[in-house]
Structure 1
Amino acid sequence: MIEIFTYEFMQRALLAGIIASVLCGVIGVYVILNRIVFIGGGIAHTAFGGIGLGYLVGRDPLIFAVLFSVAAALGIGAISDKSRVSEDTAIGVFWAAGMSLGIVFVSVSHGYAPDLFDYLFGNILAVSWSDLLLISVLTLAMLLLVALLYQDLLILSFDPGYGEAVGLPVRELHLLLLCMVALSVVVLIKIVGIILVIALLTIPGAIVRQHSQSLKRIMALAVLLGASFVLAGLTISYQLNIPSGATIILAASGTFFLSTLLAR
């Protein structure tokens, strides 16, 4: 097994997977506790509009995916908070609009988009050093935010009513959390793709939460679980010559079902 990681592309893939595991272990727990998994799905699909725009203007699609993801997070949060439109309706509109924009942008762009499927279904083996740099910067920024606002995010996740009573800016914290989810989505798109991004973001934390109550312990164990899924997925996909992103998710899903049976 060790010899497969002597290849540089496998080393980049493993490093990207470990960084993503750290992010999933921390941000994914907040996604589960705040019950915003569906919002994450809407943001992920809206990001496809940014990817299409990147192809259209000939720039890095991930940069535009960041802009579209953050805009979707702020838009969903603002519309559901300040209008009569329900949250799931706002998510559905952004979801559909982002995907449609992406399709239009790609169709009118010049040339062929050879790695478009990588953004939809992921291709961790194609992660470049520039992708790793962007992923690392985004992950570090979010970990710093979590460290600075840990207590506030804890209150937001478990008792937002108490947070309002003691003067916490609950609405602003909620929007900030959505933006953090948006950036997490961008990090994971290159690894498992838009279609599977929410699975990797939530499954490790969901497994650990079935067996632990301490937030810090859940985060730490979720990071370890995520890294284990990445390692197992890369190894199995290399041996069987099957897609890496899907294999990682299948390893995580299988563990989740087994964990659920044991938790009962």
Structure 2
Amino acid sequence: MLEILLQPFQYAFMVRGMLAAVLVGVVCAVVGTFVVLRGMAFFGDALAHTILPGLAVGYLVGGGSRETLFWWALGTAVVSAVSIGTISRKLRLKEDTAIGIIFAGMFALGVALISSVRSYSVDLAHFLFGDVLAVRESDLIRSAIFGGVVLLLLYAFYKEFALLSFDPILAATLRLPAHFLDLLLVILIAVAIVVSLQTVGVALMVAMLVTPAATASLLTRRLPLIMMWAAVIAAFSGVVGLYLSYYLNVASGAAIVLTCTVGFILVSLGRSLRERFFRVSTV
């Protein structure tokens, strides 16, 4: 058993992959807590897909450079997030309508760019489906810096975000800058998504935002504990997923997400059984 646990760490890429999976898991889980509380799962999924044209243009401009791809993806994500809020507010459209418009347009643009130059469509596949084992030291440092900024801002505005999530009427009564805080939150979600791209990819990104936080919400109702449990679940899923990827030879991003999903199923079943037992014992 000890040999099974230690064997992957003989390779530097596995060590970097483990660190990246834990880092991404913690950042996405903490941000994802507010995504779940505010019912923004569709927004997170749409925002992840709107990054596609940024990746395509970044590849063309930088010739495949990871640094260029990261900055173009980040810029595209932030612009898309701001555009959704602006369209919804200025044109008085429902937010899900604005999300659908930006999501469809940006994703179609990304597909068009990728399909027009077939030579790089394969090179971008790891951003679509994730390839945490290809994380380099520079990628890890960049992810740690931006992930740390996201967590720091969430800590600084924790009370405001919590109040807006649980009682927006009281937040308005207290004259909190709701528009600024909403904009800040969507930008933090955008940054978390870009930081996580190489780990789980565009296609599976929403799972890292939603599943750990949803699982944690079944274990406790206190927001700080939900964040803590979500971070633990996501980090644990990242480590277990990488072990499965290593020994079963499956895609690392898919293995991590499937581990998260299995965890959610087990916790939900355990809660159902506990509630049923409690009802029977009180009869």
The TM-score range, normalised by the shorter chain, is over 0.9
Who is 1:120 aligned against? 128
8 A contact 2:115–2:121 mirrored in 1: no
- Paired letter, 1:22: V
TM-score by length of 1: 0.95
What is the aligned length? 264
Q: Distance in 2 between matches of 1:130 and 1:97?
A: 32
Match of 1:28 among 22, 27, 32: 32
Unaligned stretches of 5+ residues in structure 1:
none
Match of 1:46 among 32, 50, 55: 50
Seen in structure 2, the aligned counterparts of structure 1 residues 110 and 121 have a Cα distance that, compared at 3 Å, is closer
Q: Distance in 2 between matches of 1:165 and 1:204?
A: 32
3-state SS in 2 of match to 1:210: helix
Per-residue displacement from partner, 1:20-40 (whole Å, max 9, x unpaired)? 121022101011111111011
Instruction: Give me the identity figure in percent.
Output: 38
Q: Distance in 2 between matches of 1:80 and 1:216?
A: 31
Seen in structure 2, the aligned counterparts of structure 1 residues 109 and 57 have a Cα distance that, compared at 3 Å, is farther
Who is 1:99 aligned against? 107
Who is 2:280 aligned against? none
Match of 1:245 among 253, 264, 270: 253
Seen in structure 2, the aligned counterparts of structure 1 residues 107 and 125 have a Cα distance that, compared at 3 Å, is same
Give matches, 1:105-184, under 5 Å: 105-108=113-116, 111-184=119-192
Per-residue displacement from partner, 1:36-90 (whole Å, max 9, x unpaired)? 1101111100011110110121252121110010111111112122323222221
8 A contact 1:16–1:191 mirrored in 2: yes
8 A contact 2:29–2:208 mirrored in 1: no
- Paired letter, 1:262: G
8 A contact 1:52–1:101 mirrored in 2: no
Match of 2:10 among 6, 13, 18: 6
Q: Distance in 2 between matches of 1:178 and 1:12?
A: 28
Q: Distance in 2 between matches of 1:97 and 1:185?
A: 19
Q: CA deviation at 1:107?
A: 4.3
Q: How large is the RMSD of aligned CA atoms in angstroms?
A: 1.5
Q: CA deviation at 1:150?
A: 1.1
**Which 10-residue stretch deviates more, 164-173 or 75-84?**
75-84
Who is 1:18 aligned against? 22
Q: Distance in 1 between matches of 2:154 and 2:23?
A: 16
Q: CA deviation at 1:101?
A: 2.0
- Paired letter, 1:7: Y
**Which 10-residue stretch deviates more, 80-89 or 156-165?**
80-89
Q: Distance in 2 between matches of 1:167 and 1:66?
A: 31
Unaligned stretches of 5+ residues in structure 2:
273-283
Per-residue displacement from partner, 1:152-201 (whole Å, max 9, x unpaired)? 11101111111110110011111111111111111111101101001011
Where in structure 1 do 4 or more consecutive aligned residues deviate above 6 Å? none
Q: CA deviation at 1:99?
A: 1.8
Per-residue displacement from partner, 1:204-235 (whole Å, max 9, x unpaired)? 11101112011111111111111110111111
